[in-house]
Amino acid sequence: MKKKTIILIGIYTAYFANAIVFTLVIPFASKMVIKFEIADDRSSTGTWVGLMTFSLMFGRTITSACWGSICDRWGRKPVMLIGIASITIFSLLFGFSPNFWWALTSRFLLGVFTPLAIVTKTLISEICPDEEQPSAMALQSMLWQIGLVAGNVLGGVLEDPESSGLIKSGIFADFPFLLPNCVAALIAFLSFWLVYPNLEETLQKTELIGGSSISNTRTSKQIITDPVVCKILSAYTIWANNSTAMNELMVLYLWTDIKYGGFELNPKEIGLFLGASTILIAIFQKNIASFMIKKYGLVRTAKITTFLAIPILLLAPLASLLNRDLVFRWVVLALIQMTWITVNIISFTAISCMSNNSVISQERGRMNGLFMTSASLAKSIAPLLIGFTFTSTVKDGLFFPLNYSFSFYLIAAIEVVMWNICKWLPVSLNQSKEKQGFQLMKHPEDDQTVITNINK
């Protein structure tokens, strides 16, 4: 097996583990809240579940920009190893939670010390040539989605193994939420031993005209105020918000009592439903995304997929209104979920590639750090907003569309904003800066380093 392949497997495995820990707690979070006596019934757990998700994303929000700068200064490899170690350690700490506040703190620290979303995206753009990047990013997106599903399934199936009959006593009986977290920690540990001996540092100092060398150029402020970067950042942030909100909302929708418009499933049923409705479609995403990007380009693909997401979101809450048996409604909702996942992964692939194409390679760590800061903020706010909105509209018993369906329509309205942003993206984002002829150069008069297009 080629060394490059081993490195990519290690990177993808770490990213897969990162996705797992993101959704691992969702199937049993409501049960955990009730177990720790923070809430006493199904309809009042949404806000506390949202807070648990918020803690992880808040940790990422306050540290992502810093990790991006570290990635461009220290290099990609040390940041990668720190992120992998963080998943291993804090997943285990969360599994040993004796109370809600311990669990909340563990999730927060996991967010603080896990910059894998930043460094993996940067590494893939530097390891894979331009023509391979859409396929590599599509594979990354596919593994992220499968990881999200795996997290839901592992969390739903392996939580509280004593009550399900998997074990009768021991440490996993004393700590009912430990077993799924041990699986996540083991996957991260495996990725460490694939990455550590094989990955070589990809951050290279760039020689400039005049003889000096640097590893980064513009400041974070200069990067984020670039008009093109700003547009991509806005689209990426909205994608992060809607993706997280929909994941959270679907679980609450499935968990809620039938009399309030939900499906009243237990954690295991939720995990299996999400797995069954997602895993089959996810494995085809790499080919679908690669085909669309090759045929239409990155910019047009983003426009198409964000537009298609709008009617999907509008149709989702109608599944529980069908005058048919529960299984039929499950099937309809699964089809809607599969279609959503399809357009969501493809749009992420296109936007991720465009974000890498918006800056030169020496700025990608910093740029991805800024993007992750904004995306993490959106992902931290989304569960709170959706949890509060869904809980409020369900408990108040409002009429359609101000009942449980309102949260779906709120996400759809935000998706419209994203679609309009994508309509204004320049076609130059279909290629990397280097392929367009941009290089670092130094003006001999003022000794200032600038990015110049040598083809003009």
In this predicted model, what pLDDT tens digit does every residue of 27-60 receive, in sequence order? 788 778 877 767 666 666 667 777 887 788 888 8
How far apart (Å, rounded) are the C-alpha atoms in residues 105 and 189? 22
pLDDT, residue 89, reads 95
Under DSSP, the state recorded for 365 is H
**Residue 325 in domain:** yes
Q: From CA 125, how far away is CA 87, in angstroms rounded?
A: 23
- The Cβ of residue 194 has, within 10 Å, a number of other Cβ atoms equal to 19
Measured from the Cβ of residue 440, the count of other Cβ atoms closer than 10 Å reads 20
What is the per-residue pLDDT for 399?
A: 65
124 occurs within a structural domain: yes
- Please give the single-letter amino acid code of residue 15: Y
- pLDDT band for position 208 (cuts 50, 70, 90): very low
Residue 254 lies in a domain: yes
Q: Which of 160, 178, 147 is nearest to 275 (CA)?
A: 147
In a domain, 288, yes or no: yes
Amino acid letter at 435?
K
Amino acid at 436: Q
Cβ contact 246:340 at 8 Å: yes
Map residue 265 onto helix, strand or coil.
coil
Q: Indicate the pairing of strand 206-207 with strand 213-214.
A: antiparallel
pLDDT value, residue 210: 44
Contacts of 206 (CB under 8 A, 6+ apart): 213, 214, 215, 362, 440
318-344: average pLDDT: 78
Query: Of the candidates 242, 249, 236, 251, which has an alpha carbon nearest to the alpha carbon of residue 349?
Result: 236
pLDDT(172) > 90: no
With beta carbons less than 8 A apart as the criterion, state whether 168 and 162 touch. yes
Residue 386's nearest CA partner among 236, 253, 248, 237 is: 248
Residues contacting residue 145 through CB under 8 Å, at least 6 positions apart: 19, 278, 282, 285, 341, 344, 345
The CA-atom distances, in angstroms, between 109 and each of 64, 100, 103, 263, 286 are 13, 14, 10, 33, 32
Cis status, amide bond into 401, omega within 30 of 0: yes
Backbone angles phi, psi at 438, to 5 degrees: -80, 135
In a domain, 379, yes or no: yes
107: Cβ contacts below 8 Å, ≥ 6 apart: 25, 52, 53, 55, 56, 59, 90, 94
Over residues 326-355, the mean pLDDT reads: 85
Show the tokens assigned to 368: 């991805």
- Number of domains within the chain: 1
Rounded CA separation 71/78 (Å): 8
Q: What is the pLDDT of residues 380-402, one digit of tens each?
A: 788 888 888 887 777 666 666 76
* 338 alpha-carbon distance from chain centroid: 17
Would you state the pLDDT for residue 216? Answer: 46
Between the alpha carbon of residue 384 and those of residues 134, 148, 378, the distances in Å are: 33, 19, 10
Q: Is the pLDDT of residue 414 over 90?
A: yes
Cβ neighbours of residue 126 closer than 8 Å, sequence gap 6 or more: 76, 202, 203, 361, 364
- pLDDT value of position 302: 94
Domain CATH for 347: 1.20.1250.20
Q: Determine the average pLDDT of the residues in 132-154.
A: 83
Domain contains 200: no
As a whole number of angstroms, the distance between CA 43 and CA 196 comes to 46
Q: Long-range CB contacts (< 8 A, 24+ apart) of 406-410? A: 407/245, 407/249, 408/249, 408/313, 408/314, 408/316, 408/317, 409/313, 409/314, 409/317, 410/386
Q: What is the mean pLDDT of the chain?
A: 82
Is residue 12 domain-resident? yes
Per the document, the length of the chain is 456
Query: Is the pLDDT at 87 greater than 90, yes or no?
Result: yes
Which amino acid belongs to residue 364? R
Between CA 322 and CA 324, with CA 323 as vertex, the angle to 5 degrees is 95
Q: Which domain holds residue 383?
A: 3-195+205-453
Look up residue 66 and give its DSSP letter.
H
pTM, two decimal places:
0.77
The C-alpha atoms of residue 398 and residue 394 are separated, in whole angstroms, by 7
Query: What angle do the packed helices 46-73 and 76-95 form, to 10 degrees?
Result: 160
Separation CA 245–CA 331 (nearest Å): 22
316 found inside a domain: yes
